[in-house]
């Protein structure tokens, strides 16, 4: 996002990671809201309390749009109420196929010839929100989860910032962020 010249107000992480130092290096606020203080990654996790802290932090930084990437926590309703249809997420598969934590592994196990990257509006249900943009990546003979994921990341590093820039433009123009209308097949275009 920084390399694309997008206005990043803050970077929030649910665990220590390189993104926080990257934020500092680019003059953005860095906020570690560690899950360990909310019960960690097990069944004791306080999703409501954690979401309330994340939401308050985003509001305090006067964020207009939330762009999640690699954020390992599904947030509850409070953040969606504070940022309705203004939370984007990226996923390493062509949704609705292969939602969840192991999209790349699941695509390989299914034996598909292509997978890719999806940018969608986040909802309470993981990887189920309206799709804003997608780009396919072929699955090559001999691909491993690591090699395929790296090729998907190359696509994601272009697709996600472009989609975030588009979404910011929509908000700036006073429009809500809505999925683009589905494209008609070429044969339909030729007959209408």
Structure tokens at 177: 């962020």
- 69 touches 90 (CB < 8 A): yes
Structure tokens at 45: 């996790």
- Between β-strands 10-13 and 29-32, what pairing exists: parallel, antiparallel or unpaired? parallel
- 68 touches 50 (CB < 8 A): no
Active site residue 91: yes
Active-site entry in 26, 61, 80, 91:
91
Residue 17: closest CA among 2, 4, 34: 34
In angstroms, the CA 153 to CA 151 distance is: 5
Which residues are catalytic, by number?
91
């Amino acid at each position: 996002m920084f390399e694309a010249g997008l206005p990043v107000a803050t970077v929030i992480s649910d665990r220590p990671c390189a993104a926080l130092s990257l934020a500092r290096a680019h003059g953005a606020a860095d906020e570690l809201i560690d899950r360990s203080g909310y019960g960690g990654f097990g069944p004791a996790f306080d999703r409501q309390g954690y979401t309330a802290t994340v939401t308050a932090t985003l509001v305090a930084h006067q964020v207009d749009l939330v762009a999640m990437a690699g954020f390992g926590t599904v947030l509850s309703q409070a953040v969606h109420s504070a940022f309705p249809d203004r939370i984007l997420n990226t996923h390493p598969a062509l949704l609705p196929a292969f939602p969840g934590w192991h999209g790349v592994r699941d695509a390989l196990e299914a034996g598909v010839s292509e997978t890719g990257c999806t940018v969608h509006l986040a909802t309470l249900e993981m990887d189920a929100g309206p799709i804003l943009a997608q780009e396919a990546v072929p699955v090559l003979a001999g691909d491993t989860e690591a090699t395929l994921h790296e090729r998907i990341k190359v696509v994601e590093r272009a697709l996600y910032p472009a989609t975030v820039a588009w979404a910011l433009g929509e908000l700036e123009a006073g429009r809500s962020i809505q999925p683009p209308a589905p494209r008609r097949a070429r044969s339909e275009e030729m007959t209408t």
